[in-house]
A and B are shown apart, each in its own frame.
Chain A
Amino acid sequence: MKTPPEPTAAQQSTARLTAWALAELPASSPSDFESKLLADPDLKTEAEALRDFCNVLGAELSSTLPSGALELPAAARRQLEMAAGTPAPRRTLLWLLPLSVAACFAFLLIGHRAATGKTAEKQQAERTAKIAEAETRVRAALSVENAKNPDPPKPSPNLAVNQSEEVRRLYKMGEGYFDLGEFQNAEEHFNKVLALDPTNPAARRALEKTAREVNNYYQAANDHTRLKMLNDVDSLWVTPLPGIQGSESKNDSAPSLQKQEVADWEPHPDQFSDLNRPVYPPGLQVAEKNLPDSTSSAATYRGLPENSFVTVKNQPLSTFSIDVDTASYAIARRYLYQGERPPVASVRLEEMINYFPMDDAAPVDGKPFALHVESASAPWQTEHRLVRVALKGRAMPAGERPAARLVFLVDTSGSMEQSNKLPLVQQTLQLLLAQLAPADHVALVTYAGESRVVLPSTPVSERSVISAAIDSLSSGGGTNGSGGINAAYELARSSFLPAGVNRVILATDGDFNVGVTDEAELKSLITREAKSGVYLSVLGFGSDNLKDTTAELLADAGNGNYAYIDSLSEARRALVTQLQGTLTTIARDVKIQVEFNPAQVASYRLLGYENRALANQDFNDDTRDAGEIGAGHSVTALYEIVPAGPAAPSLPATDPLKYQANPPALPAPANLTPQATTGELLTVKVRYQLPEGKAPSQLIEVALKDSGNTWEQASANFRWTAAVAGYALLLANSQHAPSLTWDTVRTLAGGAKGPDPEGFRGEFLQLIGKAAGVAPGPAHQ
């Protein structure tokens, strides 16, 4: 505290005058000061003006206070009195006090006179008598009070201490029931609040809101049923035309159907058996990735053109971010089970090969993952080499997982009604709940029109409560995706556990059609939250409105992963088998950069990872967001390599430069470093950051010399990866594997299947058969 500067005489005088005006003069000097004051007329006027001003100040300022503001409410006083052990006389019954005091005094005097040398016992008896006397008086006064203003039933002493806590808790429970739609229970709780705190307007208003909601619900149900019936009737009149589906996909122009071809084509009667399936004339080259979906729905897939061969001379470096999402495989599987060809734009090769866990060797020296590189010939082009780059994440035993704070954010909009959506979500969440430990916490938020907290963060030891909350979900309304995410993140932040797993798990069919629909805005929101340590995983459901693009975008921005759940077995795979990986991140922002040796490699092509490409300088930039690896996850990438030498196919040459000297066709020997002569094909570098903290990224580096193996001699992991890659290439109509057939894929897969304990590899073999049926492949046309 600052010491004030030496006071001037004027200031001292002001101080004393103010003190007089406020009746705060110290007891010692009032009288002579006052007389001095009254003597001097100037001082007197000054003092009186000051006093008037102080009165004005006091009046104005205290007028802003509501009446009764500086008094404890009656209920509070009673509580304190009970806590003290005896009701004391109330302030407003002050007139009673002298009476009771007088009574006590009288008692005391009498007692004192009666026996001067009292024993302790007698003193105690007296005290009790005094208290009894006061008690009877107060009771009498209170009964008068009661007649005018009946008290609510007194809460038990145990509750009295934390009454305001109890009120808040009951109110919250009431609101929770209101959100769940259980209006009876909500009303009950609000009435309980009123019992404890009779003048609580919030509870009253909540009761009114509840009553209104019940009323509204009947109205809404009526309207909804009517509209639904009208829609059903209308939809029968819609005739889908080939090539012009009502799809909202982000692809650019419609396919270039030749008008003549369409006009000349005679439809076969069988081809109209399913009105929803577009039928293509047999001669049409279905080569574009930009074709609309095969279902008459608004599901959107964004396809990028596949990577093509690149010369090492032009681009010796290839950089990309890893991806552990697996949605593309599950989406394609769902189409194939329906007997349809998966949309070409939904096929992402990297997600297909990463669907299958690989049994590469686990890391040994405390690093979060191990890096394996292998090369062999490419099954679809034996002069080319195929290089497999695999990262195997460290496994985490079940007991080691840090405690989790999960928030389930469930889309309960009207579109989630179908049996493969909300009911499956509920089953999936129950499955996940069964895997969690008692120390974990779960909260449940729904969004449909507005966001509602169905269950605040609850420990899993109360499993039945959480289970009941999940079961109580029902669908209806529009979707406010952003509002829901805000509420979920708020809950996650309030229950944040440092060094724990803090995650929001979003279950949706990807329908964000009310509120913030701008992708960029959503993405920045989620990125911001992910920086604070709360990650986001996305589970996609449903088939007709899946905004696959948005879902993947959100999972990437949220440092989590995106899985598509089309059946309970897939839910089991994603959330039971892969639970550790889905929940625990062991390394984040993992980037891969490969440098090719021009002496060995003429050109290369990265299979997949088109939407994961990074600029070469981004590899060393720790601020660039990249993919995350979960515990036990494996990530695989494939490069197809054209070895250097006279057999290299001629790629289209660029024109000779006009303003610069033309670079030589092959790098001059002087440009190559000594490392180029070691016979290494390439060097793989991986950068990653540990999930917690802001430590700079770490680097792992491995170089590969070509083994010269053919693909038949390669490891089982290699052959399996190649099989799935071939499957993806055929489904995506790749232009770079012209001689690939389904038989090759089948042979590869059959030989590399291995023990397959969960049956997913066996399922893949069946899918090959189905895919061959709907997507014959270039060799068959």
Chain B
Amino acid sequence: MPSPADRLSSVLRRYERPLLGYAFVRCGDHGLAQDAVQETLQRFLRHAPSGDLESLAPWLFTTCRHALTDLHRKANRHPLADPRADANAASEPLSTSPSPDEALEAKETAHFLLRCIAALPDIQQEIVRLKFETGLTYRDIAAATGLTIANTGWLLPQAVATLRADWQRLESAPPTISVSC
């Protein structure tokens, strides 16, 4: 019978990144995502659901979703300063691109891709962001979104194919024209 501490560490190892990624994709705010995952893990410790590591995934992702809703409600109740929000606003990532031109081009590409992703249907959007932005596996994506792995394996390639078509349009089009997708 593993001790709570051991269970916690194994859950952390396996699920810290996926949960944080999922929470971030759903709410868009790092601070809020971290709080939600914190809350999820605390609930995990409190309720200690049984089962092996892999089968915990749906429970964890669902709890994470609920925690996000609760935090949203709490935040909206008192619309005064949120220290976390300010903290995140301050922590803009330093650009690692060497030259300004490349940085600009990189930003444009990312921006373009994000716009194309936003044009996808909702479920495909979520899957694409979970996969590529935060690196979740098919299995975790399936557990988080409630789809089956086969479904995920079906929808994601479709989304990728759409994005690839848009991308090829961008590559072939002259750079001064803004491509809308």
Contact = CB atoms under 8 A, between A and B. Distances in A.
Nearest to A10: B161
B92 interface: yes
Nearest to B97: A63
B41 interface: yes
A33 to B, nearest CB: 13
B5 A72 contact: no
30 contacts: A14-B158, A15-B157, A24-B137, A24-B153, A53-B163, A53-B164, A53-B167, A54-B160, A56-B167, A60-B110, A61-B133, A64-B114, A64-B133, A65-B133, A69-B20, A70-B21, A72-B12, A72-B34, A80-B45, A83-B42, A88-B12, A164-B38, A171-B81, A172-B78, A172-B80, A175-B80, A197-B83, A200-B83, A202-B85, A494-B79
B69 interface: no
A63 to B, nearest CB: 6
A73 B153 contact: no
A78 to B, nearest CB: 11
A18 B45 contact: no
A453 interface: yes
Given A66-B92, A70-B21, A86 B3 contact: yes
Contact of B4 (A64, A72, A84): A84
A295 B49 CA distance: 78
Given A77-B12, A84-B45, A201-B87, 8 more contacts: A62-B133, A71-B20, A84-B4, A85-B4, A91-B13, A161-B42, A199-B87, A200-B86
A58 B134 CA distance: 9
A19 interface: yes
Contacts of B83: 167-168, 171, 193, 197, 200, 202-203
B4 A63 contact: no
A7 B158 CA distance: 11
Nearest to A164: B35
A62 B131 CA distance: 10
A131 B35 CA distance: 29
Contacts of A84: 4-5, 7-8, 45
Nearest to A97: B9
A61 B129 contact: yes
A91 B87 contact: no
Contacts of B24: 65, 69-70
Interface in B130-166: 131-135, 137-138, 147, 151, 153-158, 160-161, 163-164
A72 B38 contact: yes
Contacts of B164: 50, 53
A87 B83 CA distance: 27
B177 interface: no
Given A60-B106, A65-B133, A72-B34, A86 B81 contact: no
Interface string B72-114: 0000011111111111001111000000000000100110011
Interface residues of A, dominant DSSP: helix
Given A15-B157, A172-B78, A203-B83, A72 B3 contact: no
B64 interface: no
Contacts of A1: 147, 151
A15 B45 contact: no
Instruction: Specify the main secondary structure of chain B where it touches its partner.
Output: helix
A533 interface: no
B34 A490 contact: no
B16 interface: yes
Nearest to B8: A84
Contact of A201 (B8, B90, B157): B90
Interface in A148-179: 161, 164, 167-168, 171-172, 175
Contacts, number: 168
A528 interface: no
Nearest to A169: B78
A22 interface: yes
Nearest to B90: A201
A208 interface: no
B160 A71 contact: no
B78 A494 contact: yes
A18 B82 contact: no
Interface of B: 3-9, 12-13, 16-17, 20-21, 24, 30, 34-35, 37-38, 41-42, 45, 77-87, 90-93, 106, 109-110, 113-114, 128-129, 131-135, 137-138, 147, 151, 153-158, 160-161, 163-164, 167
Contacts of B131: 22
Nearest to B37: A72
A57 interface: yes
Interface size class of A (residues with CB under 8 A): 35 or more
A583 B3 CA distance: 59
Contacts of A72: 12, 16, 20, 34, 37-38
A67 B30 CA distance: 11
A561 interface: no
A752 to B, nearest CB: 54
Nearest to A75: B38
Given A64-B110, A72-B38, A86-B5, A58 B135 contact: yes
Contacts of B9: 88-89
Nearest to A201: B90
A531 interface: no
Contact of A453 (B17, B80, B157): B80
A57 B8 contact: no
Contact of B87 (A7, A57, A200): A200
B80 A73 contact: no
A501 to B, nearest CB: 21
A171 B114 CA distance: 35
A584 to B, nearest CB: 26
A81 B81 contact: no
Nearest to A15: B157
A601 B89 CA distance: 75
Interface string A484-496: 0000001000100
A62 B77 CA distance: 32
Given A161-B42, A202-B83, A67 B93 contact: yes
A83 B85 CA distance: 26
A755 interface: no
Contacts of A17: 157
A161 B41 CA distance: 12
A203 B82 CA distance: 10
A495 B169 CA distance: 53
Contacts of B138: 19, 22, 24
A234 B145 CA distance: 74
